[in-house]
Chains A and B, each alone.
Chain A
Amino acid sequence: MGGGGGAEEELTAQETALYDRQIRVWGVDAQKRLSKAHVLVCGMNGTTTEFCKNIVLAGVGSLSLMDDHLVTEDDLNANFLIPHDESIYGGRSRAEVCCESLKDFNPMVRVAVEKGDPSLIDGEFLDKFDIIVVSCASIKTKLLINDNCRKRSKHIAFYAIECKDSCGEIFVDLQNHSYVQKVGGEPKPKELAYPSLQEAISVPWKNLPRKTTKLYFAMRVLENYESSEGRNACEASLSDLPAVLALRKDMCDKMSLSESQIPTALLERLLAAGKKQHPPVCAILGGILGQEVIKSISGKGDPIKNFFYYDAADGKGIAEDIPPLSSD
Chain B
Amino acid sequence: MASSPASAASEEEAVKAAKVLMVGAGGIGCELLKTLALSGFRDIHIIDLDTIEVSNLNRQFLFRQSHVGQSKAHVARDAVLKFRPNINITSYHANVKDAQFNVEFFKQFNVVLNGLDNLDARRHVNRLCLAAEVPLVESGTTGFLGQVTVHVKGKTECYECQPKPVPKSYPVCTITSTPSKFVHCIVWAKELLFAKMFGDKNQDNDLNVRSNESGTSKSDVFERNADEDLDQYARRIYDHVFGYNIEVALENEETWKNRRRPNPIYIRDTLPEEAIRQNGSSRDINNEQEEPSAMVSLGLRNPQEIWSLADNSRVFLEALKLFFEKREKEIGNLVFDKDDQLAVEFVTTAANIRASSFGIPLHSLFEAKGVAGNIVHAVATTNAIIAGLIVIEAIKVLHGDYKKYRMTYCLEHPSRKMLLMPIEPFEPNKSCYVCSETPLLLEVNTKTTKLREVIEKIIKSKLGMNLPLVMIGSTLVFEDGEGLEEDEAANYALNLEKVLAELPAPVVNDTKLTVEDFQQELSCSINIKHRDEFDEEKEPDGMVLSGWSAPVEKQVTSNGGNQSVASSSGADYADGIVEDISTKPGMKRKLDEVLELKENCDASSSAQVVEDDDDDDLVMLDENPKLAKKKRLQ
| Partner-B contacts on A (CB < 8 A) | 10-11, 13, 16-26, 28, 46, 50, 53-54, 57-59, 77-84, 104-107, 165-166, 211, 214, 260, 263, 265, 269, 272, 278-284, 286-288, 290-291, 294, 301-302, 304, 308, 310, 312-320
Give the docked Cα–Cα distance between A78 and B388 (Å): 12
Q: Which residues of A contact B418 (CB under 8 A)?
A: 316-319
Query: Which of B231-239, B376-384, B557-565 makes up part of the contact surface?
Result: B376-384
B35 touches A280 (CB 8 A): yes
> A314 — nearest CB in chain B belongs to which residue?
B611
B419 touches A25 (CB 8 A): no
Given contacts A18-B54, A280-B39, contact A315 B408 (CB under 8 A): yes
Is B413 interfacial (CB 8 A cutoff)? yes
Q: Which residues of B contact A317 (CB under 8 A)?
A: 410, 418-421
Q: Which residues of A contact B385 (CB under 8 A)?
A: 283-284, 287-288
Is B173 interfacial (CB 8 A cutoff)? no
Chain B positions 362-414 with a Cβ under 8 Å from a chain A Cβ: 366, 370, 375-385, 387-392, 395, 406, 408, 410, 412-414
Chain B positions 262-312 with a Cβ under 8 Å from a chain A Cβ: 301-304
B422 touches A320 (CB 8 A): no
B39 touches A58 (CB 8 A): no
A25 touches B379 (CB 8 A): yes
Q: Nearest 7 CB-CB pairs, A to B?
A: A317-B420, A315-B422, A283-B388, A287-B385, A279-B38, A280-B388, A287-B384
Given contacts A10-B304, A281-B388, A288-B385, contact A21 B420 (CB under 8 A): no
Give the docked Cα–Cα distance between A233 and B382 (Å): 29
A105 touches B35 (CB 8 A): no
Is B10 interfacial (CB 8 A cutoff)? no
Q: Which residues of A contact B422 (CB under 8 A)?
A: 314-316
B186 to chain A, nearest CB (A): 15
Which of these, A10, A18, A165, contacts B58 with CB under 8 Å?
A18
B623 to chain A, nearest CB (A): 15
Q: Which residues of B contact A17 (CB under 8 A)?
A: 54-55
Additional A-B contact list (14), CB under 8 Å, known A24-B376, A282-B38: A16-B304, A22-B58, A25-B379, A26-B379, A58-B379, A59-B58, A107-B65, A214-B616, A278-B39, A280-B390, A290-B380, A314-B422, A314-B611, A314-B616
> A313 — nearest CB in chain B belongs to which residue?
B3
Give the docked Cα–Cα distance between A319 and B377 (Å): 24
Give the docked Cα–Cα distance between A260 and B143 (Å): 39
B618 touches A314 (CB 8 A): yes
B582 to chain A, nearest CB (A): 13
> A167 — nearest CB in chain B belongs to which residue?
B1
Q: Which residues of A contact B413 (CB under 8 A)?
A: 301-302
A129 to chain B, nearest CB (A): 20
Is B579 interfacial (CB 8 A cutoff)? no
Given contacts A25-B144, A291-B144, contact A57 B59 (CB under 8 A): yes
Q: Which residues of A contact B227 (CB under 8 A)?
A: none
A21 touches B58 (CB 8 A): yes
A234 to chain B, nearest CB (A): 17
A101 to chain B, nearest CB (A): 8
A105 to chain B, nearest CB (A): 6
A25 touches B417 (CB 8 A): no
B384 touches A25 (CB 8 A): no
**18 sampled A-B residue pairs with Cβ under 8 A:** A17-B55, A20-B55, A21-B55, A53-B380, A54-B380, A84-B86, A265-B613, A278-B1, A279-B38, A279-B388, A282-B388, A287-B382, A287-B384, A287-B385, A288-B385, A301-B412, A314-B618, A315-B420
Q: Which residues of A contact B59 (CB under 8 A)?
A: 21-22, 57
B412 touches A280 (CB 8 A): no
Is B324 interfacial (CB 8 A cutoff)? no
Q: Which residues of B contact A83 (CB under 8 A)?
A: 82-83
B83 touches A57 (CB 8 A): no
Which of these, B83, B366, B378, B388, contacts A22 with CB under 8 Å?
B378
Which of these, A11, A104, A315, A320, contacts B406 with CB under 8 Å?
A315
Chain B positions 52-79 with a Cβ under 8 Å from a chain A Cβ: 54-55, 57-59, 61, 64-65
Give the docked Cα–Cα distance between A84 and B84 (Å): 7
The digit string for B27-69, where 1 denotes a CB below 8 A from any CB of A, is 0000100110111000000000000001101110100110000
Q: Which residues of A contact B389 (CB under 8 A)?
A: 280, 284, 315
B65 touches A279 (CB 8 A): no
The digit string for B414-437, where 1 denotes a CB below 8 A from any CB of A, is 100111111000000000000000
A21 touches B391 (CB 8 A): no
Is B574 interfacial (CB 8 A cutoff)? yes
B83 touches A58 (CB 8 A): no
Q: Which residues of A contact B378 (CB under 8 A)?
A: 21-22, 24-25
> A281 — nearest CB in chain B belongs to which residue?
B388
Which of these, B61, B84, B85, contacts A57 with CB under 8 Å?
B61
Give the docked Cα–Cα distance between A319 and B37 (Å): 29
Q: Which residues of B contact A287 (CB under 8 A)?
A: 380-385, 388
A16 touches B377 (CB 8 A): no
Give the docked Cα–Cα distance between A316 and B410 (Å): 10
Q: Which residues of B contact A58 (CB under 8 A)?
A: 58, 379-381
Give the docked Cα–Cα distance between A127 and B143 (Å): 32
Is B614 interfacial (CB 8 A cutoff)? yes
Q: Which residues of B contact A320 (CB under 8 A)?
A: 417
Is B481 interfacial (CB 8 A cutoff)? no
Q: Which residues of A contact B83 (CB under 8 A)?
A: 80-84
Given contacts A57-B59, A318-B418, contact A21 B384 (CB under 8 A): no
Q: Which residues of A contact B421 (CB under 8 A)?
A: 316-317
A280 touches B54 (CB 8 A): no
Is B5 interfacial (CB 8 A cutoff)? yes
Which of these, B39, B574, B611, contacts A21 with CB under 8 Å?
B574
Is B482 interfacial (CB 8 A cutoff)? no
The digit string for B539-560, where 1 denotes a CB below 8 A from any CB of A, is 0000000000000000000000
B417 touches A318 (CB 8 A): yes
Give the docked Cα–Cα distance between A55 and B421 (Å): 24
Given contacts A283-B35, A315-B392, contact A18 B57 (CB under 8 A): yes
Is B612 interfacial (CB 8 A cutoff)? yes
Give the docked Cα–Cα distance between A10 and B378 (Å): 22
A8 to chain B, nearest CB (A): 13
B377 touches A24 (CB 8 A): yes
Give the docked Cα–Cα distance between A304 and B614 (Å): 26
B303 touches A16 (CB 8 A): yes
Q: Which residues of A contact B390 (CB under 8 A)?
A: 280
A216 to chain B, nearest CB (A): 12
Q: Which residues of B contact A319 (CB under 8 A)?
A: 414, 417-419
Give the docked Cα–Cα distance between A214 and B612 (Å): 11
A280 touches B611 (CB 8 A): no
B5 touches A272 (CB 8 A): yes
Give the docked Cα–Cα distance between A107 and B57 (Å): 11
Given contacts A57-B58, A57-B59, contact A22 B379 (CB under 8 A): yes
B3 touches A21 (CB 8 A): no
A177 to chain B, nearest CB (A): 15
Give the docked Cα–Cα distance between A286 and B387 (Å): 12
Give the docked Cα–Cα distance between A269 and B391 (Å): 20
Which of these, A165, A280, A314, contacts B391 with CB under 8 Å?
A280
Residue among B377, B395, B417 with most chain A CB within 10 A:
B417
B266 to chain A, nearest CB (A): 33
The digit string for B73-108, where 1 denotes a CB below 8 A from any CB of A, is 000000000111110000000000000000000000
Given contacts A21-B59, A280-B389, A283-B388, contact A294 B419 (CB under 8 A): no
Give the docked Cα–Cα distance between A26 and B380 (Å): 13
